[in-house]
A and B are shown apart, each in its own frame.
Chain A
Amino acid sequence: MSNSRSELSIILRGVAKDPLGLIGLIIVGTIAVSAIFAAWIVPYDPIGMNIPDRMQGPSAAHWLGTDNLGRDTLSRVIMGGQVALKVALPAVFGAMAIGLTLGMIAGYGPKWLDNLLMLFFDTLRSFPTVMFALAVVALVGPSLQTVVLVVMATSIPTYGRVARTQTLTLRNSEFILAERAMGASMARILGVHMLPNIIGVLGVLAAMDVPTVIALEAGLSFLGLGVKPPTPSWGALLKDGYALIRQTPWLVVGGGLPIILATLGFTFLGESLRDVVDPKLRKNR
């Protein structure tokens, strides 16, 4: 426990030393904190309508103005962050968990199983993500769960392939051969000895994937196929903002700015994490 705590501390200190990493950490931290405590910090009910006050510009009462139903845009942006993370985190970490497991099995298991799983990964990868998402949403209807499942399904191959490659590299390492010679089970070898050597790389990949997933959710919501109204989402804000851009440009700002910030934040953080986790990359830059 103390080991992992000190490792985390080293990683965080490493990230904090890098200016872009620090910016990323601050942005991601702010988004995460505001999403977690959204219900307490929103100044107004994000779905409460007040039609007479619709499409107002920024004011002391409404910092980002109001939308076409008179709802406070800032409250919807904050609550939209919660939706973005509700989609991104389960989708990314779900995909990582499944991809990691399948990738390690593919890399360590028999050749036929490797071929079968690679075929599965390639089949999943062959679907264009957005088209696949549109098809699934059209079939089962839009919802938060649908978006999570679609993103998870399309992200599994990426993690699976990386995990497989890492496993193939490690499987003939001396310490793994020694474990096998001592009769360690496959589960023990994969879970205890290989996993700690692979998880770091996948963690970096996951951090870099979060903004992609947020953008995908926003894209589906922009098409009106993400979360159901009246649940606020950044993509839905952007969609309404685009339609009303000549009447109230603040909706586009409200929907677009958090997407840009989240993308930059997670990208900076991911890059910095990669440097810390793999110092070779830092030297080569």
Chain B
Amino acid sequence: MKLEWTKAPMGRRNFLKTATALGAAATLPMGLAGRAMASEGGTLRVRSYGDMSTMDPAHSNGVFDEEIHASVYNKLIQYKPGSEWGWQLDAASMIEQADPTHINFALRDDIGFTNGHGAMTAEDVKFSFERIIADDTESPNKPDMGPLSHIEVTGEREGTIVLNEPFAPLWSIALPYITGNIVSKTATEAAGGRIGADPVAESGPYLRASWNPKEKTVLTRNPDWQGDAPAWDNIEILPIDDENTAEIAFEAGELDFTRVSLGSVERYRADVPNGGALIENPSLFYVWLGMNLDHPKLQNIKLRQAIQHAIDVPSILEAAYFGAVEPSTGIIAPGLIGHRDAGSIAPAADFARAAELLAESGETNVSLTLDVLNKTTFTTTAQIIQATLAGIGITVEINVLESGAFWDSGNNENLQLVLNRFSMTPDPTYATAWFTTEQAGIWNWENFRNAEFDQLHAEAARETDLEKRAEMYVRAQDLMEESGAYRFITHEATPVVHSSGVVPALRPDGLTLLRYFGKS
């Protein structure tokens, strides 16, 4: 086919004129477009903030994958939806801690794998769990299994989980989360031991019907599922990274459920479109200002304490988090074992005390850098810290870094102050793990080294007495604060909205448990 290019009828200058006029016209108020209503029969449309990457739990990349895995696979136990952390039976008909290192379980007899791979047996549990800890698998999730030794198969559907030493997070992370998903031994071995982007055999209440990368994942009801029937025929999971976009989609009736930005909470508190509702859950994330104890400028503990006292957390929460979150007292969120009811430093700044401490430190003309990620929340927080520290005579220069440079800060010996945010799983050991001496210069950017803290971290993971365990984590956070290297800010929050026909099933931190979503 011959293509002929002719001169454009519009000259460059005319184009500029027209474009200017059109641009001006675009700023005029436009009529509201008619909203499509969310009525897709048995289809639930939810937003995920990232796309799935694998159907292999051993190589799961976290929340995006787990949302789907938890719907198409079974675990011995699953998180219980609600406002308090807990678990409920899933594939297990019975599970009990026989002694600190042995957990007996029995499987239900009505769970089978698709593609003709038969009923779920204890061999599948053994295969799935031992596969995670096998060196050959190279699973990034291996640490979640802690000191798992092996699984003893004692019957077709009975077995015992054997640990090398007691491991409290088994019940809060290992079994009900990513590593707890049970895959079919025969199907996985037939696939060469690896599961890719497509499932080899599923067993949950839903099956993955399709996956269009970056567009949509569709789950559909498993016709062979014998357990409690899920409420929805289909679930469409749409990866939408941007919260503003997700909110617009929700308001247009294109989504039934989404997490929303903290900035929109106030608006949704007043009214959620389409008769929907807002649910505000606390989050497990923790945000703090860290001080590099190895830096020559931060050797003086009185100076560090002055900084701790001069930072006004309520102002930060109001401006950067829109007043939609609570101040934190440490790295362990409310509702988890080891959460501190209060820290030794109040959230509100005490400028008089800060000035006193600075005077006691003998430091003058203090000038520090503060490294932050290039996100509006962090740059806003940094500017408030800059302003409040200026109030006691400390000059702060803000270094805004893109994510690559920021997350490489562990080995940055010039790091002074840093505003940081870590994700978290529902067990305190996951929080303290990053602040041990072993982690100094890796994820422990403050280079906080404390033998007592290290010992508490190690012993608390083995402690099965919940009360004693809680005391250990409280003490660990006391030590962090006493070092002067940390000013805890917030655990953030997970506000979500849902349309009127949906009854969400959420973990206490607001993450979805899609298989339990109901209809109203």
Are A and B part of the same complex? yes
Q: With A68-B319, A229-B379 as given contacts, are A223 and B263 in contact (CB-CB < 8 Å)?
A: no
User: A239 contacts which chain B residues (CB < 8 A)?
Assistant: 376
Restricting to B363-401, which residues have a CB under 8 Å from any CB of A?
374-377, 379-380, 382-384, 386-387, 397-401
Please name 10 pairs of A and B residues whose Cβ atoms are closer than 8 Å in the assembled complex, sorted by A.
A20-B13, A49-B319, A49-B384, A138-B405, A224-B402, A229-B383, A244-B263, A245-B244, A246-B264, A247-B264
A231-248 toward B: CB 8 Å interface, digit per residue (1/0)?
000000001101111110
B301-330 toward A: CB 8 Å interface, digit per residue (1/0)?
000000000000001001110100000000
User: A134 contacts which chain B residues (CB < 8 A)?
Assistant: 402
Is residue A109 within 8 Å, beta carbon to beta carbon, of the partner chain? Answer: no
- Contacts A20-B16, A49-B383, A49-B387 supplied; 17 other A-B pairs, CB < 8 Å: A20-B17, A54-B318, A68-B380, A138-B401, A138-B402, A138-B404, A225-B374, A230-B387, A239-B376, A243-B263, A244-B376, A245-B244, A246-B247, A246-B263, A247-B264, A247-B322, A285-B11
Restricting to B234-267, which residues have a CB under 8 Å from any CB of A?
244, 247, 261, 263-264, 267
Q: Which of A49, A224, A246 makes the CB contact (< 8 A) with B261?
A: A246
CB distance from B31 to the nearest CB of A (A): 17
Taken together as a complex, chains A and B put the C-alpha atoms of A167 and B405 apart, in Å, by 44
Q: Which of A51, A141, A228 makes the CB contact (< 8 A) with B319?
A: A51
Q: Are A225 and B402 in contact (CB under 8 A)?
A: yes
Q: Which of B16, B382, B401 makes the CB contact (< 8 A) with A229?
A: B382
Give the A-B contact count at a CB cut-off of 8 A: 85
User: B397 contacts which chain A residues (CB < 8 A)?
Assistant: 228
Taken together as a complex, chains A and B put the C-alpha atoms of A227 and B383 apart, in Å, by 13
Is residue A260 within 8 Å, beta carbon to beta carbon, of the partner chain? Answer: yes
Q: With A20-B13, A244-B263 as given contacts, are A260 and B382 in contact (CB-CB < 8 Å)?
A: no
Q: Are B376 and A54 in contact (CB under 8 A)?
A: no
User: B375 contacts which chain A residues (CB < 8 A)?
Assistant: 224, 243
Interface residues of B (CB under 8 A from A): 11, 13, 16-17, 20, 23, 244, 247, 261, 263-264, 267, 315, 318-320, 322, 374-377, 379-380, 382-384, 386-387, 397-402, 404-405
Q: Are B267 and A260 in contact (CB under 8 A)?
A: no
Q: Are A228 and B398 in contact (CB under 8 A)?
A: yes
Q: With A69-B380, A223-B374, A246-B261 as given contacts, are A229 and B402 in contact (CB-CB < 8 Å)?
A: no
Interface residues of A (CB under 8 A from B): 20, 49, 51, 54, 68-70, 134, 137-138, 141-142, 223-225, 228-230, 239-240, 242-247, 260, 264, 267-268, 271, 285
User: B17 contacts which chain A residues (CB < 8 A)?
Assistant: 20
Q: Are A69 and B383 in contact (CB under 8 A)?
A: yes
User: A240 contacts which chain B residues (CB < 8 A)?
Assistant: 376, 379-380
Name the CB-closest residue of A to B371: A141
Taken together as a complex, chains A and B put the C-alpha atoms of A242 and B387 apart, in Å, by 24
Taken together as a complex, chains A and B put the C-alpha atoms of A228 and B354 apart, in Å, by 26
3 pairs of A and B residues whose beta carbons are closest in the complex: A224-B374, A243-B376, A224-B400
User: A243 contacts which chain B residues (CB < 8 A)?
Assistant: 263, 375-377
* B247, B318, B319, B397: most-surrounded residue (chain A CB, <10 A): B319
* A142, A243, A244: most-surrounded residue (chain B CB, <10 A): A243
Name the CB-closest residue of A to B404: A138
Name the CB-closest residue of B to A271: B13
Name the CB-closest residue of A to B401: A138
Q: Which of B11, B244, B400 makes the CB contact (< 8 A) with A228?
A: B400
User: B387 contacts which chain A residues (CB < 8 A)?
Assistant: 49, 230
User: B383 contacts which chain A residues (CB < 8 A)?
Assistant: 49, 69, 229-230
Taken together as a complex, chains A and B put the C-alpha atoms of A230 and B320 apart, in Å, by 14
Taken together as a complex, chains A and B put the C-alpha atoms of A129 and B319 apart, in Å, by 34
Q: Are A224 and B13 in contact (CB under 8 A)?
A: no
Taken together as a complex, chains A and B put the C-alpha atoms of A245 and B376 apart, in Å, by 12
* B11, B247, B397: most-surrounded residue (chain A CB, <10 A): B397
Taken together as a complex, chains A and B put the C-alpha atoms of A229 and B382 apart, in Å, by 9
Q: Are B399 and A142 in contact (CB under 8 A)?
A: yes
Taken together as a complex, chains A and B put the C-alpha atoms of A264 and B17 apart, in Å, by 10
User: A245 contacts which chain B residues (CB < 8 A)?
Assistant: 244
Taken together as a complex, chains A and B put the C-alpha atoms of A20 and B320 apart, in Å, by 43
CB distance from A119 to the nearest CB of B (A): 31
Taken together as a complex, chains A and B put the C-alpha atoms of A285 and B14 apart, in Å, by 12
Taken together as a complex, chains A and B put the C-alpha atoms of A91 and B455 apart, in Å, by 56
Taken together as a complex, chains A and B put the C-alpha atoms of A141 and B409 apart, in Å, by 13
CB distance from A242 to the nearest CB of B (A): 8
User: A70 contacts which chain B residues (CB < 8 A)?
Assistant: 319
Taken together as a complex, chains A and B put the C-alpha atoms of A285 and B12 apart, in Å, by 10
Taken together as a complex, chains A and B put the C-alpha atoms of A224 and B445 apart, in Å, by 22
CB distance from B242 to the nearest CB of A (A): 9
User: B384 contacts which chain A residues (CB < 8 A)?
Assistant: 49, 51, 69
Q: Are A69 and B319 in contact (CB under 8 A)?
A: yes
Taken together as a complex, chains A and B put the C-alpha atoms of A172 and B60 apart, in Å, by 70
Name the CB-closest residue of A to B23: A260
Name the CB-closest residue of A to B382: A229
CB distance from A52 to the nearest CB of B (A): 8
CB distance from B373 to the nearest CB of A (A): 8
CB distance from B198 to the nearest CB of A (A): 35
Q: Are A264 and B20 in contact (CB under 8 A)?
A: yes
Q: Are A54 and B398 in contact (CB under 8 A)?
A: no
Taken together as a complex, chains A and B put the C-alpha atoms of A70 and B264 apart, in Å, by 18
CB distance from A12 to the nearest CB of B (A): 20
User: A224 contacts which chain B residues (CB < 8 A)?
Assistant: 374-375, 379, 400, 402
User: B401 contacts which chain A residues (CB < 8 A)?
Assistant: 138
Q: Which of A51, A225, A229 makes the CB contact (< 8 A) with B315?
A: A51
Q: Are B402 and A246 in contact (CB under 8 A)?
A: no
Taken together as a complex, chains A and B put the C-alpha atoms of A240 and B247 apart, in Å, by 18
Name the CB-closest residue of B to A241: B376
Taken together as a complex, chains A and B put the C-alpha atoms of A95 and B453 apart, in Å, by 56
Name the CB-closest residue of A to B373: A224
CB distance from B42 to the nearest CB of A (A): 31
Taken together as a complex, chains A and B put the C-alpha atoms of A137 and B400 apart, in Å, by 10
Q: Are A229 and B400 in contact (CB under 8 A)?
A: yes
User: A68 contacts which chain B residues (CB < 8 A)?
Assistant: 319-320, 376, 380
Name the CB-closest residue of B to A244: B263
Q: With A69-B383, A229-B400 as given contacts, are A51 and B318 in contact (CB-CB < 8 Å)?
A: yes
CB distance from A219 to the nearest CB of B (A): 13
User: A49 contacts which chain B residues (CB < 8 A)?
Assistant: 319, 383-384, 387
Name the CB-closest residue of B to A260: B23
CB distance from A7 to the nearest CB of B (A): 25
CB distance from A36 to the nearest CB of B (A): 26
Q: Are A230 and B386 in contact (CB under 8 A)?
A: yes
* B315, B322, B380: most-surrounded residue (chain A CB, <10 A): B380
CB distance from B391 to the nearest CB of A (A): 11
Taken together as a complex, chains A and B put the C-alpha atoms of A264 and B15 apart, in Å, by 12
User: B374 contacts which chain A residues (CB < 8 A)?
Assistant: 223-225
Taken together as a complex, chains A and B put the C-alpha atoms of A115 and B380 apart, in Å, by 50
User: A20 contacts which chain B residues (CB < 8 A)?
Assistant: 13, 16-17
CB distance from A143 to the nearest CB of B (A): 9
Name the CB-closest residue of A to B318: A51
Q: Are A223 and B402 in contact (CB under 8 A)?
A: yes
User: B315 contacts which chain A residues (CB < 8 A)?
Assistant: 51
User: B244 contacts which chain A residues (CB < 8 A)?
Assistant: 242, 245-246
